[in-house]
C-alpha cells in the first residue's frame, strides 16, 4: 500500500513539475521586485484586508507550494480550488521539504549541506476565511522572501459563521458527528440564545466598568501604561532606546526581566497614554447606538461563546492525527534516514486519502477511526519536517532555523507546534495579539525553551486603551478587541492565568508565573496608542511607496500582520537588542531604528 502511494506520488509530481517551477519562478520574480524597493525599516504593505487598499498591489505571488491548508476537523485541502478536492499529501509535503533541501545546497561530494535556511512559519488569526488568508499570504510571501526567508503558511478556516453552524449540526463530544442533528440543532440554538440573555446583565457591567476605566476616569491605571512598568522592568530608557534622551529615572543598572518595550516617550509624558481620544463621527455613532447594543450583546455572547469554542476545537484538530500515525512517528524517535521520513508521510497520506475518498468506510473501521485519519494534517506535516531535520545525524537540521509567528488564534496553532515538536531548531517565537491563554502557553510550549537555550520569545500587544476602545461593525457590537471579548464573554477566566496572552494588562499581573529562564528570554512590546506618531522623526521610521509616510504600528487587533512583522525593528522597536537575542541578517536594516534618519 505504501509502495503504491509512493509510485502514484512520483507520477503526480512529474506531471505537475512544470507548474511547480512556474509558481516558484513567479515568487522569486516578485521577491526581486520587493527587494528592489529597498525598504530599510518596518513598512506597511496593507492598509486593511481589502485588496484594493493594498499598498503594493502589484507585488504578490501564488503560494500553493508554500501553504499547508486545512478545512474543518484539520482535513488537508488545496490552497486553491474546491475545498473537498483530495490533495496529494506525499507530493505537497515532499515538495516543501525538497525546497528546503534545495536552498540548503546539498553537496554530494562532501555529503553535507552548505547553506543556512531561515524558515518562517506563519499562522494567521481567527475570524479569517480561507480565501482571505490565501490573499494575505500572496502579499506577504514576496516581501518575506526578499528578506531572505522561506515562508510557510498555515491556513485554516477560522470564520465565525461556519464555526457556529458546525457547532449546531455536526459536533458531538468534541468529534465530528451528525447523529441526531434534527434534535440537537434547535436545542443548541435555543440554549445559546437563552444563555446569552441570562448572562447579559453581567456583560453590561463588564462593558460599563471598562468604559469608565478607559474613557471617563483618566486616573485609572488599569488601562494605562505606568511609570513603574518602565522603571521596574528594565534599565534606564536612554540605555535601551536609541536616540531618545530622557532624564534619569532612578532605575537600577541591572536589567530586570522580562524586557519591556513601551511607546517611545519619556516617563511622565502624557503621550505615553495620550491619549488621542477624541470625539469622532465613529464615536458619536457608537454612543448613539447604545440602545441597539442592549439588544445585540446577548446574542453575540450566546452564539459567540460556542462558536469560539468550536473555532478553538477545529484549530487544535489540525494537530490531532490518528493514533496509528502517532505511534508510527514515535517509532522513529531514534536515528533515522530521509527515506524513513518519506515513508512516514506515505503511510499517513495513504490512510488519509483512503478515508477521504471512500463513501463507505473500510471494513472493520469505525466512523470515528475513519475521521481520525482524515484530520491532523498539520501534525502529519510537522512530523515529517521534524524527522527530516533529525535524519542522517541532523545534517539538514544544522542548517535550518525556524522563526515561528502566530497572530491571534495563530498562537494556539504555535502552542501545539511547540508542544509536540519541542526539539526542532526554533530561533525565535513571536506572538502578536495572542488569543492563547497564559496557562496553555506555560503548560506546553515552555519545554521547547528548556531544550533550546538560545530560543527567544516576543509577545507583541496593543496599547491597553486601544484594546479597550476598539470599535467594530460601526459600533453595533460591544466595544473592545477580540481579546476583550474572549476574556469577558467567550471564556471567562477561572484563574488568574486563564486569560489571553496577548494583552498587556494580563501579562502585568502574571509575569511572575513565567519560569525564570524564560523571563530572561522574553520581550514584551506594547505599541503606541496614536494613529500617527506626532513628531516627524517618529514617522521617519516608516516607509511607503513614493516616500509616503505610513503608520507602522497596530492600533486594532487585526492590524498586526498589516506590517512587516518579521523585521527586527517591528519586534524590538527602538530598543537595543538584548545580548543573545536572535536578529535578522538583512544587510540593509540598521542595528537600531534610529530617529530621523534612514539606513545607508
DSSP state of 215: I
CB 40 within 8 A of CB 589: yes
Separation of CA 177 from chain center:
29
Alpha helices in 57-180, H assignment, sequence order = 89-104, 130-146, 160-169
What value does the mean pLDDT take over residues 502-521?
Answer: 92
Question: How far is Cα 391 from Cα 378, in angstroms, rounded to an integer?
Answer: 20
What value does the mean pLDDT take over residues 114-123?
Answer: 96
CB 528 within 8 A of CB 534: no
Pull the grid cell for residue 63: 503560494
482 Cβ contact partners less than 8 Å away, ≥ 6 residues apart: 126, 127, 408, 433, 435, 557
**Integer angstrom CA distances of residue 371 from 353, 358, 364, 368:** 11, 12, 14, 5
Mean pLDDT of the chain: 81
Report which listed range, 48-57, 157-166, 423-432, is most confident.
Answer: 423-432
pTM recorded for the entire structure: 0.89
- pLDDT band, residue 350 (cuts 50/70/90): confident
Report the pLDDT value the prediction gives residue 544, as an integer from 0 to 100. 62
> What would the pLDDT profile of 75-98 be if each residue is shown by its tens digit?
999 999 998 888 999 999 999 999
Top-confidence residue, 105 or 261: 105
Question: How far is Cα 562 from Cα 544, in angstroms, rounded to an integer?
Answer: 13
Residues, the chain: 600
Listed by start position, the domains of the chain span 2-221+273-572
CB 30 within 8 A of CB 60: yes
End-to-end CA distance of the chain: 58
> What would the pLDDT profile of 222-236 be if each residue is shown by its tens digit?
888 876 665 444 443
How many C-beta neighbours within 10 Å does residue 89 have? 23
The residue assigned the cell 496614536 is: 530
Question: How far is Cα 383 from Cα 331, in angstroms, rounded to an integer?
Answer: 12
> What would the pLDDT profile of 521-562 be if each residue is shown by its tens digit?
999 999 988 877 665 555 555 666 655 556 788 999 999 998
Q: Are strands 106-107 and 149-156 parallel, antiparallel or unpaired?
A: unpaired
Task: Look at the alpha carbons of 499, 501, 505, 506 in this order and tell me if their dihedral is positive or negative.
Answer: positive
The residue assigned the cell 474613557 is: 215
Question: How far is Cα 166 from Cα 307, in angstroms, rounded to an integer?
Answer: 8
3-state secondary structure of 301: helix
Report the pLDDT value the prediction gives residue 357, as an integer from 0 to 100. 60
Question: How far is Cα 559 from Cα 553, in angstroms, rounded to an integer?
Answer: 8
Report the pLDDT value the prediction gives residue 545, as an integer from 0 to 100. 63
- pLDDT band, residue 597 (cuts 50/70/90): very low
Task: Identify the H or E element spanning 176.
Answer: strand 175-176
Top-confidence residue, 591 or 395: 395
CB 420 within 8 A of CB 486: no
- pLDDT band, residue 104 (cuts 50/70/90): very high
CB 434 within 8 A of CB 411: yes
CB 30 within 8 A of CB 138: no
Question: How far is Cα 266 from Cα 230, in angstroms, rounded to an integer?
Answer: 10
Question: How far is Cα 26 from Cα 80, in angstroms, rounded to an integer?
Answer: 16
- pLDDT band, residue 286 (cuts 50/70/90): confident
- pLDDT band, residue 48 (cuts 50/70/90): low
Question: How far is Cα 176 from Cα 367, in angstroms, rounded to an integer?
Answer: 10
Amino acid at each position: 500500500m505504501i509502495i503504491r502511494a509512493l509510485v502514484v506520488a512520483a507520477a503526480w509530481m512529474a506531471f505537475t513539475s512544470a507548474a511547480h517551477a512556474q509558481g516558484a519562478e513567479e515568487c522569486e520574480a516578485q521577491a526581486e521586485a520587493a527587494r528592489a524597493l529597498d525598504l530599510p525599516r518596518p513598512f506597511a504593505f496593507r492598509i486593511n484586508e481589502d485588496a484594493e487598499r493594498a499598498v503594493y498591489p502589484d507585488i504578490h505571488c501564488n503560494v500553493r507550494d508554500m501553504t499547508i491548508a486545512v478545512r474543518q476537523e484539520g482535513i488537508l485541502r488545496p490552497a486553491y480550488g474546491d475545498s473537498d478536492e483530495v490533495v496529494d499529501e506525499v507530493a505537497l509535503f515532499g515538495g516543501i521539504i525538497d525546497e528546503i533541501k534545495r536552498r540548503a545546497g546539498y553537496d554530494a561530494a562532501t555529503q553535507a549541506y552548505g547553506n543556512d535556511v531561515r524558515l518562517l512559519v506563519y499562522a494567521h488569526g481567527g475570524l479569517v476565511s480561507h480565501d482571505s488568508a490565501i490573499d494575505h499570504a500572496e502579499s506577504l510571501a514576496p516581501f518575506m522572501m526578499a528578506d531572505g526567508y522561506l515562508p510557510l503558511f498555515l491556513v485554516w478556516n477560522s470564520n465565525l459563521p461556519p464555526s457556529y453552524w458546525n457547532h449546531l449540526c455536526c459536533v458531538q463530544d468534541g468529534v465530528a458527528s451528525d447523529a441526531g442533528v434534527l434534535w440537537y440543532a434547535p436545542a443548541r440554538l435555543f440554549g445559546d440564545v437563552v444563555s446569552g440573555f441570562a448572562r447579559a446583565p453581567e456583560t453590561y457591567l463588564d462593558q460599563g466598568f471598562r468604559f469608565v476605566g478607559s474613557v471617563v476616569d483618566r486616573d485609572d491605571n488599569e488601562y494605562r501604561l505606568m511609570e513603574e512598568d518602565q522603571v521596574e522592568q528594565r534599565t534606564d530608557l536612554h540605555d535601551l532606546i536609541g536616540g531618545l534622551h530622557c532624564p534619569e529615572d532612578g532605575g537600577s543598572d541591572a536589567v530586570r526581566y522580562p524586557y519591556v518595550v513601551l511607546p517611545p516617550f519619556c516617563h511622565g509624558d502624557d503621550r505615553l497614554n495620550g491619549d488621542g481620544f477624541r470625539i469622532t463621527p465613529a464615536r458619536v455613532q457608537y454612543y448613539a447606538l447604545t440602545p441597539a447594543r442592549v439588544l445585540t450583546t446577548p446574542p453575540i455572547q450566546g452564539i459567540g461563546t460556542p462558536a469560539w469554542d468550536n473555532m478553538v476545537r477545529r484549530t487544535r484538530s489540525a494537530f490531532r492525527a490518528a493514533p496509528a500515525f502517532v505511534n508510527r512517528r514515535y517509532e522513529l524517535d531514534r536515528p533515522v534516514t530521509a527515506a524513513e521520513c518519506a515513508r512516514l508521510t506515505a503511510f499517513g497520506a495513504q490512510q488519509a486519502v483512503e478515508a477521504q475518498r471512500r463513501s463507505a468506510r473500510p471494513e472493520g473501521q469505525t466512523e470515528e477511526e475513519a475521521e481520525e485519519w482524515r484530520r491532523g494534517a498539520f501534525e502529519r506535516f510537522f512530523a515529517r519536517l521534524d524527522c527530516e531535520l533529525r535524519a542522517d545525524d541532523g545534517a539538514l537540521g544544522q542548517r535550518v532555523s525556524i522563526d515561528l509567528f502566530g497572530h491571534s488564534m495563530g498562537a494556539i496553532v504555535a502552542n501545539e507546534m511547540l508542544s509536540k515538536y519541542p526539539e526542532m531548531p526554533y530561533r525565535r517565537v513571536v506572538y502578536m495579539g495572542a488569543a492563547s491563554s497564559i496557562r496553555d502557553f506555560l503548560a506546553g510550549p515552555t519545554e521547547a525553551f528548556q531544550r533550546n537555550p538560545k530560543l527567544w520569545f516576543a509577545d507583541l500587544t496593543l496599547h491597553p486603551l486601544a484594546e479597550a476602545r476598539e470599535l467594530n461593525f460601526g459600533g453595533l457590537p460591544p466595544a473592545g478587541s477580540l481579546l476583550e471579548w474572549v476574556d469577558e464573554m467567550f471564556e471567562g477566566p477561572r484563574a488568574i492565568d486563564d486569560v489571553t496572552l496577548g494583552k498587556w494588562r494580563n501579562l502585568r499581573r502574571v509575569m511572575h508565573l513565567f519560569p525564570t529562564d524564560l523571563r530572561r528570554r522574553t520581550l514584551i512590546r506594547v505599541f503606541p496608542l496614536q494613529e500617527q506618531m506626532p513628531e516627524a522623526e517618529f514617522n521617519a521610521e516608516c516607509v511607503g511607496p513614493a516616500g509616503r509616510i505610513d503608520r507602522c504600528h497596530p492600533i486594532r487587533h487585526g492590524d498586526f500582520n498589516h506590517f512587516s512583522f518579521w523585521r527586527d525593528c517591528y519586534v524590538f522597536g527602538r530598543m537595543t537588542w538584548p545580548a543573545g537575542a536572535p536578529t535578522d541578517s538583512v544587510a540593509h536594516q540598521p542595528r537600531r531604528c534610529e530617529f530621523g534618519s534612514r539606513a545607508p
